[in-house]
Amino acid sequence: MAKNYIILSDFPKPLIKSIREEYLGANTNNEKLFTKVILDEFQTYILVHRPHNLYNMMDKVIKLPYQSIMFLYSAPNAGMGPIHIDSSRSSSINIPVDLDYNNTCFFIAHSPCTEIPPDENTNEGSKRYAYEPENYDFYNVREPILLNTKAPHSFFVHSDQPRILMSISFDQHYEDLRHNCELSPNYIKSRGRVATLGKEHR
């Protein structure tokens, strides 16, 4: 069975606190720094634009090219989100910002899953999958995770509070990041070469 996520237990705790403070203090209606993408009544992506301070904060610890930063907002009692693969990124680091650890859960496939027909909210290049619990690993995202966004994944929210994560997007493949990157308390960097879109970067 392939494990498609790893827990980044050494991710700096003070940085997680600072990310939480940045979110709580942000005016996400400021269109110079944020764009809201409402997927449905339960899910909203809040895209973060440079020169927001979050990029300065992340640039100090992530010594690899990354695409973007966004917040993933799921409404209270949203239930299960659609099981999907991402169309525009290959992997991500998801960081807990504000969530109920006892009543929310992330899950991701470790075995082949049954593909189902797309719905009206399915992005081009994405796919939808059936919920087959035996094929998934489950985690409440108490700590940051690196995940393979090309593996079927989703979440549950059975809480009266929203579930909010910060997500850092990479076009590097998950296996490249997992095997070729050093994850330490102070930085995330390449050990050598990291393959990106069929090319190699030092």
Rounded to a whole number of angstroms, the distance between the first and last alpha carbons of the chain is: 30
**Each residue's pLDDT tens digit, 79-108:** 999 999 999 999 999 999 999 999 999 999
Whether the predicted model's global pTM rises above the 0.85 cut: yes
Round the average pLDDT of the chain to a whole number and report it.
Answer: 89
Closest CA to 21 of 78, 95, 94: 95
Q: State the pLDDT confidence band at 11, using cuts at 50, 70 and 90.
A: confident
Domain 5-188 has CATH 3.40.50.300: no
- What are the tokens at 101? 């650890």
The sheet carrying 5-7 orders its strands as 5-7, 145-148, 91-98, 163-170, 68-74, 43-48, 34-38
pLDDT confidence of residue 63: 84
pLDDT confidence of residue 119: 80
What percentage of residues in the chain have a pLDDT greater than 90? 75
3-state secondary structure 184-195: CCCCEEECCCEE
Query: Positive or negative, the Cα torsion across 107, 113, 118, 119?
Result: negative
pLDDT confidence of residue 47: 98
- Using CA atoms of 159, 107, 97, 163 in order, give the dihedral in degrees to the nearest 10: -30
Domains of the chain, by residue range, sit at: 5-188
Instruction: Give me the helices (H) in 6-158, please.
Output: 13-24, 53-59
**Each residue's pLDDT tens digit, 156-184:** 999 999 999 999 999 999 998 887 776 66
Q: State the pLDDT confidence band at 200, using cuts at 50, 70 and 90.
A: very low
Instruction: Give me the helices (H) in the chain, please.
Output: 13-24, 53-59, 174-180
Tell me the three state secondary structure of residue 200. Answer: strand
Q: State the pLDDT confidence band at 126, using cuts at 50, 70 and 90.
A: confident
Q: Which range has highest mean pLDDT (115-119, 147-151, 177-181)?
A: 147-151
